[in-house]
Amino acid sequence: MAKRKTKYVCQECGYESAKWMGKCPGCNQWNTMAEEMEAAAANQQRYSGGIRSTSAKPESITSIESREEPRMTTNMKELNRVLGGGIVPGSLVLIGGDPGIGKSTLLLQISSQLAGKGLPVLYISGEESTRQTKLRADRLGVKADLLYVLSETNLYDISRQIEEIKPSLVVIDSIQTIFREEVSSAPGSVSQVRETTSELMKIAKTSGVPIFIVGHVTKEGAIAGPRLLEHMVDAVLYFEGERHHTYRILRGVKNRFGSTHEMGIFEMKEEGLREVMNPSEIFLEERAEGAAGSTVVASMEGTRPVLVEIQALISPTSFGNPRRMATGIDNNRVPLLMAVLEKRVGLMLQNQDAYIKVAGGVKLDEPAIDLAVAVSIASSFRDQPTKPDDIFIGEVGLTGEIRRISRVEQRVQEAAKLGFKRVFCPAKNLEGWNVPEGIEVVGVNTVQEALDLGVSR
């Protein structure tokens, strides 16, 4: 019998070492190395993808038949769009989010909708008993005979139930509670998460059953476990939002069957999650008219334009070094734009504190929001509001120029639909498309030009 050896594995990044270390060399985290047992060589070849004989042969890419994968659609159009049009058979989808944000509620609603269409669904809960799942189902009004609930953490028993029931969808809640008997480490460890996910991937690909797995997140907001977990699955969705607010954002950061960085908006109700079809109205409904430092930007979230309010507060500093704080955008972007305003426009901002916020809890990371942030800073500094029906979009360069952005036509159409009258955009984006009726598009070349037209002195 082969001798079992011990090793030390980092529970954050998966780094392996023959001896214990206080600080992991892979991720520089302290006290994350845990002792685990190495499997025997026979088990490693059997369960870790050892070399096996196969009858598959290489094919020319021109001879392979291309066909559109059929998809299962739910009653939630927001979820279907984030997934790229629906659930692809044989796909493995990872959903992460903070505790209590609504991951289990969303997956239970999806399972109920598919079971109501006559498709058997297997919901496996490793953290709750079947009675606890039943209580949540009663609160959500779930009544579907084809929705099967199982409280199990042993991967062997789970795979056996999948073979017997032959469901159209499998939900694993959560992957950190599932274990394989062949792996000696505790459930939730790096080895267990890697091996169980690999086996679930094999089940999904061979049987054609789509599998949704829930992943816990760390305090930094990343999915717990090895980074390899996100590389193995077909799609990674993050469920975001403040626990004390009713709105939730489902954001796709990886999708092998559709576009990435799609976003779906949901509202948490007593009876479950309800999709928000027009999020721009939600983010702008509490905007105060005539307030200095408030601007609206049309940001692209995947293929969807979303209008969001950006607020800025500029006040004289009481300290030697002024503060620069931002919520919802890159914190390093604020001092960069303030330096452009000071050098190219002449605003004395070096002794001013700056606080920037994206209203509604949305996170924006595209360059097209630069102009709106710069205009809101100048508006608050001058204490002069912008017009309530103006929108600012454009990337700001270090020389003060406004650079070209993508998909300007969709942004302007969304602004026209919500009743805005004027859009400031890069002058180089004015060619090659038709302006919708009822809205004026103003092309600007510099930040100075945008401030002269959009903010009064």
The predicted-structure confidence for 192-229, as pLDDT tens digits, reads as follows 888 899 999 999 999 999 999 998 776 565 665 556 68
What backbone phi and psi angles, to 5 degrees, belong to 193? -65, -40
Residue 280 confidence (pLDDT) above 90: no
Average pLDDT score over the chain: 87
Q: Is 97 assigned to a binding site?
A: yes
Residue type, 124: I
Q: Is 98 assigned to a binding site?
A: yes
Average pLDDT over residues 120-138: 93
Which comes out higher in pLDDT, residue 262 or 273?
273
| Distance from C-alpha of 289 to C-alpha of 104, rounded to nearest angstrom | 39
Task: Report pLDDT for 47.
Answer: 42
pLDDT 10s digits, 373-418: 999 999 999 999 999 999 999 999 999 999 999 999 999 999 998 8
Task: Report pLDDT for 59.
Answer: 85
Helix (H) or strand (E) holding 367: none
Average pLDDT over residues 256-266: 83
- Global pTM value: 0.75
Percent of the chain with pLDDT over 90: 53
Q: Is 85 assigned to a binding site?
A: no
CATH of the domain spanning 282-454, picked from 3.40.50.800, 3.30.230.10, 3.30.70.660, 3.40.50.620: 3.30.230.10
For residue 55, say if its preceding peptide bond is cis, omega within 30 degrees of 0: no
Most trustworthy range by pLDDT among 47-56, 224-233, 329-338, 448-457: 329-338
> Where does the pLDDT of residue 191 fall: very low under 50, low under 70, confident under 90, or very high at 90 and above?
confident
Ordered alpha helix ranges (H), 293-446: 333-340, 370-382, 408-417
Residue 57 confidence (pLDDT) above 70: yes
Task: Report pLDDT for 51.
Answer: 41
Is residue 168 within 8 Å of 118, Cβ to Cβ? no
Q: Is 100 assigned to a binding site?
A: yes
- For 77-276, CATH gives 3.40.50.300
Number of Cβ within 10 Å of residue 19's Cβ equals 8
Q: Tokens standing for 88?
A: 């692809």
Residue 40 confidence (pLDDT) above 60: no
Helix (H) or strand (E) holding 299: strand 294-301
Task: Report pLDDT for 168.
Answer: 94
Average pLDDT over residues 340-367: 91
What backbone phi and psi angles, to 5 degrees, belong to 136? -65, -40
| Distance from C-alpha of 248 to C-alpha of 242, rounded to nearest angstrom | 8
Q: Is 141 assigned to a binding site?
A: no
Least confident of 22-36, 53-67, 147-161, 260-274: 53-67
Q: Is 290 assigned to a binding site?
A: no
Which comes out higher in pLDDT, residue 123 or 321?
123
Average pLDDT over residues 236-252: 81
Helix (H) or strand (E) holding 389: none
| Distance from C-alpha of 448 to C-alpha of 381, rounded to nearest angstrom | 15
Closest by Cα among 131, 129, 171, 183 to 152: 129
Residue type, 367: P
Strand order in the sheet with 121-125: 147-150, 121-125, 169-173, 211-215, 92-97, 235-240, 247-255, 263-269, 272-275
Task: Report pLDDT for 420.
Answer: 93
Is residue 310 within 8 Å of 359, Cβ to Cβ? yes
For residue 174, say if its preceding peptide bond is cis, omega within 30 degrees of 0: yes
Chain centre to alpha carbon of residue 412: 25
Least confident of 60-69, 397-406, 418-427: 60-69
Number of Cβ within 10 Å of residue 103's Cβ equals 24
Is residue 312 within 8 Å of 373, Cβ to Cβ? yes
Q: Is 49 assigned to a binding site?
A: no
| Distance from C-alpha of 50 to C-alpha of 46, rounded to nearest angstrom | 6
Residue 120 confidence (pLDDT) above 70: yes
Helix (H) or strand (E) holding 42: helix 41-47
Q: In the 8-state DSSP scheme, what is residue 47?
A: H
Is residue 140 within 8 Å of 108, Cβ to Cβ? yes
| Distance from C-alpha of 177 to C-alpha of 78, rounded to nearest angstrom | 29
Is residue 60 within 8 Å of 245, Cβ to Cβ? no
pLDDT 10s digits, 298-325: 998 877 889 999 999 999 998 888 999 9
